[in-house]
Structure 1
Amino acid sequence: MTDLTEDSSLADLQNLPYWLPGEHPIKSEPAGESNMNLVLRIQTSHRNLIIKQSKPYVRKYPQIPAPVDRIEVEYRFLQEIARDAWIKDRVPKVVFFDAESHILIMEDLGKGLDFSKIYSGEKTLTEDEIIQLVDFLSRMHGLKVDEFPVNMKMRLLNHEHLFQFPFLEENGFDLDTIQSGLQALSLTYKRDVQLKEKLKLLGDRYLSPGKVLIHGDFYPGSWLDVSSGIKIIDPEFGFLGEPEFDLGIFLAHLDLAQQPELLRGSILSAYSNPLDLQLVGQFQGMEILRRLIGIAQLPLTLTLSQKAKLLRKGKYLILN
């Protein structure tokens, strides 16, 4: 079994059994800040590739175990949605999959940035970008998918950090290390029995089987801005679930990034499939709360009072 690292030498890479006849790697570098997996950008004598390998832990938080077969879910996801020609052009093309070594090799979409700069105010989403993102969700959710991995291990890992850990009063994570005063602010939500009861029901729904293929982590870190347009990456949290989850996550990150209110209406009006808007709002509220008081922090530039306002909004969306 092949075990890659960010420091893997060109000689180590040359020994991999994935190359074309006469092909050899000539440059290797990390491909951005991946949270979950090791991701390398490889330039060879013939082409440019992305090599992704899953490990039995979260790359950004090695102390958190993670199912190593998540890379197979990503492979299956990319294969499934490639049936739609429009979507196929907006995700990486699979070049090779090695199940034993948990390695997925894809075409290199080109050097680009994700959309994380919207959190700092350096970027505002345009109406055209919103339409591209919503079109992707509409088409993906409209696909007829009969079989897909349940992906329950990844969902259970995600469930803990979406619906449970952020709301434990004693979880060992001091939010004052993120921003002074945030720990005290969080206690209102960690001690709210009604809120936690609603989150329990919402979490059970997240773990229940659905009929729609969803991305499972549709936030700005999964949107890549390259010269040919917006590409969608990192679908390892995908499963057959409810489309409201993807839409709720999408809307929550517009709130967290303080994007113009007008864009929120554009998303819901452009989406072309039936929706339970109350459920969208509940998932939206959950994501706002967990991103502010959970371990999966974002590069936000919000003041404490701005976070307090968002926390109140998140609670309202969940309870109402």
Structure 2
Amino acid sequence: MFILDANKPKELANYLQKQHWLGLDETIVSLTKPGEGNMNYVLRVNTGKRTFIVKQSRGYVEKYPQVPAPANRVITEGAFYKKVSEENKVQQYMPKLIGLDEINNVIILEDLGLTNDFTVLYGMQYQLELEQLKGLVAYLNGLHNSFQKTVVDDELANMELRRLNHEHIFHYPFLEDNGFDLNTVQDGLKELALPYVKDRHLKQKIEVLGSLYLSKGKYLLHGDFYPGSWLKTETGIKIIDPEFCFYGSREFDLGVLLAHLYLTQQKGNLISGVISEYKAYSELNLEILNSFAGIEIMRRLIGLAQLPLKIDLKTKKQLLEFAYQLILNK
């Protein structure tokens, strides 16, 4: 099996030429990391004439090698890119798929250029612009409206990766003894989390929502719609990393978006902007939407998937209380 490695450009060039993704007259001038990805091994290839992105998934999470993950997840991501290429309302916000190798779990993507993701929001010094928020919601409008099923089937079910995500969203953060000392993140955070991991009523509600997350639905979802998947480019906001995609409840994508607006303390007009810009907002189940938002806030504060949030313990306490109210619809 071919293994992607930034320190082996010759091997990569040979592989790309065998796949007909690199011309025989092309060479690799440089290999760089396009960003700080969590799940996969990703490189930007520069041939001197063009650049493109090579992405490989392995049997573990790249950032957390101790966490197993389905090795073929990037193939599901490639299937998503193929699917949305049919609809310009969605494709215009995403890189184009150039190639896919199911044997070696590799995809090749259009390079969107020198970009920055929106994890800068977690530094609490940056506010999204309203036009950027409108772009994010326009993407979800196109995705959810253009790719919906009348008959639910197994297309892009993505169950193996969803079960992994389910564990880290709906289960692991709420275990009383999960082996993760939250005080290593921030002193006092473990004690702050304790009332929630002991709250039986809360955990029952989260279990029900976790079952909904794992159930089949009719709307195609991005599945991980947070600032690390949003890019700021010269041509506007773009969306990447749809490997957690599946057909499910559209409240999940919207809930994750809202959660990260709350976590990064975005202005109220951006929260209301989601409501006004999402075309099918009146059709949503607001109880489910709020609960998904609350769970995303909680799991980002007391789960393994920590964010580089520059906020104090008092603010985290307030956010946890707010998330609790959202989940229990109080």
TM tier, smaller:
over 0.9
- 1:177-233 CA distances to partner (integer Å, 9 max, x unpaired)? 010000001001000000000000000000000000000000000001111111100
Q: What TM-score results when the alignment is normalised by the length of structure 1?
A: 0.97
- Gap runs ≥5 in structure 1: none
Which amino acid counterpart does residue 300 of structure 1 have in structure 2? L
Partner of 1:222: 229
Aligned-residue sequence identity (percent) comes to 45
Partner of 1:26: 29
Superposed structure 1 runs of 4+ greater than 4 Å apart: none
- Is 1:163 aligned to 2:163, yes or no? no
Q: Contact (CA 8 Å) 1:252, 1:287: kept in 2 or not?
A: yes
Which amino acid counterpart does residue 3 of structure 2 have in structure 1? D
Partner of 2:65: 62
- Is 1:101 aligned to 2:104, yes or no? yes
Match of 1:77 among 63, 72, 80: 80
1:86: Cα distance to partner? 2.7
- Is 1:11 aligned to 2:14, yes or no? no
1:145: Cα distance to partner? 4.7
Trace 1:102-121 onto structure 2 (pairs within 5 A).
102-121=105-124
C-alpha separation in 1, matches of 2:264 and 2:147: 33
C-alpha separation in 2, matches of 1:19 and 1:64: 33
- 1:227-260 CA distances to partner (integer Å, 9 max, x unpaired)? 1111100000000001000000000001111111
Match of 1:311 among 317, 320, 323: 320
C-alpha separation in 1, matches of 2:3 and 2:52: 18
Trace 1:101-180 onto structure 2 (pairs within 5 A).
101-146=104-149, 148-180=155-187
- 1:110-151 CA distances to partner (integer Å, 9 max, x unpaired)? 011100111112310011111000000011000135562210
1:275: Cα distance to partner? 1.3
Partner of 1:2: 2
Partner of 1:39: 42
Partner of 1:285: 294
1:262: Cα distance to partner? 2.1
- Is 1:89 aligned to 2:92, yes or no? yes
1:82: Cα distance to partner? 1.2
1:162: Cα distance to partner? 0.3
- Gap runs ≥5 in structure 2: none
Q: Secondary structure at the match of 1:33?
A: coil
Match of 1:254 among 232, 257, 261: 261
C-alpha separation in 2, matches of 1:119 and 1:279: 25
Q: What TM-score results when the alignment is normalised by the length of structure 2?
A: 0.95
Q: Secondary structure at the match of 2:123?
A: coil
1:8: Cα distance to partner? 2.9
C-alpha separation in 1, matches of 2:287 and 2:268: 18
C-alpha separation in 1, matches of 2:177 and 2:80: 37
| Most deviating of 137-146 and 305-314 | 137-146
Q: Contact (CA 8 Å) 1:199, 1:286: kept in 2 or not?
A: yes
1:45: Cα distance to partner? 3.7
